[in-house]
Structure 1
């Protein structure tokens, strides 16, 4: 199959509706032969299955490549996100995807941070899509997604070896963003002190593409944008942009006087960078500077 790859920016608002449903439940144990638990590892007999089992023992997190909709789109009362579909991975590209995830997500954070913030599950998917074609004549495809029990990586298919450097950097940004989204939803992370005061208030209808620089709002809000947003969406937009963009490019785009007309891009950027470097030992810009 050929994966439909959209432009750099997608609809962050779609993430916000289900944001705080991304709770990590009590960890399950790896099933022993003859047991009947929710998940059983390993799911196959490939070399990467050993790595997945070891990852579970280290973090109490299930990496799954065999699953169905109940694993990502249902809670106790029923379906969470209408028209969301997450298709299981193409097994031919799982090893390559796991290598990418280690280099661009797991290996870039301190061990203490990972132990504290790891989600309940990570789904390896060949496609993540929300179909609104009956209403908006659109289908939205995502590199990564935060759902009920964890996060999903949606590029594990035959297009993965052909992705450009820019597309791989974009995928890194989305993986990091949904990881942080899940961690925030579970209460494992705090926002930088003072960020909410810099962000546009909830339900701010004054924001449009033409005046985004007035509020220091990144472009990721404006692809197929339907309505108001909040400081969580604003914050996560910075996470994706910082972790997918090298420092020189970021400085020469968002931080120039012509763009940063009120200095809000620089204030938000520096606040986020300094807060997590000081309090969590994380250099987010170093992630954006990684080479794929």
Structure 2
């Protein structure tokens, strides 16, 4: 009886499986990720956002969710989960679009912008903040950021009334804060290369420089420059340079620090600011390699970015 029951079950399965399949029908259409226009921004701004999407396939968003802001393709680091975005007033959308064009987009050739030079999502926000944790006094509970890179998207803060009162110097300073992480986004996503010739100039296998390297030790600093190395950042108030080399423990990372410091300089330091450094032959050689490489291979004039005034 047991075997008869099993046979009858198999027969039943075969009987039903042989019935004519029910038509599935046409596939459901997949809608766009975002519907344009998004909201009540000025008509000219909505038209510009539509034009940018039609031309480059990129969404410039002023109305998005926290989930959009946090979205990444893979799970892993959860740092974005503690960041919060505050949407901007749509009235300033035109101002934000003009600002991003002036400090970024206008320097890129059309073919580069069309080949993912503009991220799929460019999120324009009032504020990007990160909770610092309990124990901080009122008004200091958050760190505030000018940008955040999330996967293949970049969020920019500052879409507010400050865009209409920004001085030329403030605009240059904001440009300098944004253009380096944008460039790092390009290199991290293999949209821009670093020329191998750059790494053939300075000797990273040689004995580490003599510490400390700073302005209070001019002999060591001059020797550091003579080996082809630049500062890694500048004080935003005094413009005093900060060196990446603090001692022999930092020497194993010389290559990555070297390209980071040169990226900063080719994109943010004017010709006048670069003049003292270019007196050192190895610095000038590496500087010229990078500038010529980006101009020749990508038709991007990095010095036009650094020298731009507003």
With the length of structure 1 as denominator, give the TM-score of the two structures: 0.70
Cα distance change, pair 93–184 in 1 and its aligned pair in 2 (3 A): same
Whole-Å Cα distance in 1 between the matches of residues 274 and 262 of structure 2? 11
Tell me if the contact between 2:231 and 2:242 (Cα under 8 Å) persists in the aligned partners: no
Gaps of 5+ in 2: 1-28, 215-219, 235-240, 244-248
| Higher normalized helix content (fraction of residues) | 2
Correspondences of 1:11-22 after superposition (within 5 Å): none
Which residue among 253, 276, 286 is the counterpart of 2:304? 286
Partner of 2:79, secondary structure, is coil
Cα distance change, pair 156–109 in 1 and its aligned pair in 2 (3 A): same
Cα distance change, pair 124–239 in 1 and its aligned pair in 2 (3 A): farther
Whole-Å Cα distance in 2 between the matches of residues 134 and 63 of structure 1? 35
Corresponding residue for 2:233? 219
The alpha-carbon deviation at position 190 of structure 1 amounts to 0.7
Correspondences of 1:1-292 after superposition (within 5 Å): 37-45=32-40, 46-47=42-43, 48-75=45-72, 76-77=74-75, 80-82=78-80, 83-116=82-115, 117-132=117-132, 139-196=142-199, 210=214, 214=224, 215-219=229-233, 231=255, 234-252=258-276, 254-255=277-278, 265-292=283-310
Query: Deviating runs (4+, > 6 A) in structure 1?
Result: 135-138, 206-209, 227-230
Whole-Å Cα distance in 2 between the matches of residues 141 and 208 of structure 1? 32
Tell me if the contact between 1:126 and 1:157 (Cα under 8 Å) persists in the aligned partners: yes
Q: Which is bigger in relative contact order (C-alpha 8 A, separation at least 6)? A: 1
The alpha-carbon deviation at position 122 of structure 1 amounts to 0.6
Cα distance change, pair 207–156 in 1 and its aligned pair in 2 (3 A): farther
The alpha-carbon deviation at position 234 of structure 1 amounts to 4.8
Cα distance change, pair 172–278 in 1 and its aligned pair in 2 (3 A): same
* Bigger radius of gyration among the two: 2
The alpha-carbon deviation at position 196 of structure 1 amounts to 4.2
Whole-Å Cα distance in 2 between the matches of residues 212 and 85 of structure 1? 41
Q: Which moved more, 1:280-289 or 1:154-163?
A: 154-163
Partner of 2:300, secondary structure, is coil
Corresponding residue for 2:14? none
Whole-Å Cα distance in 2 between the matches of residues 200 and 85 of structure 1? 43
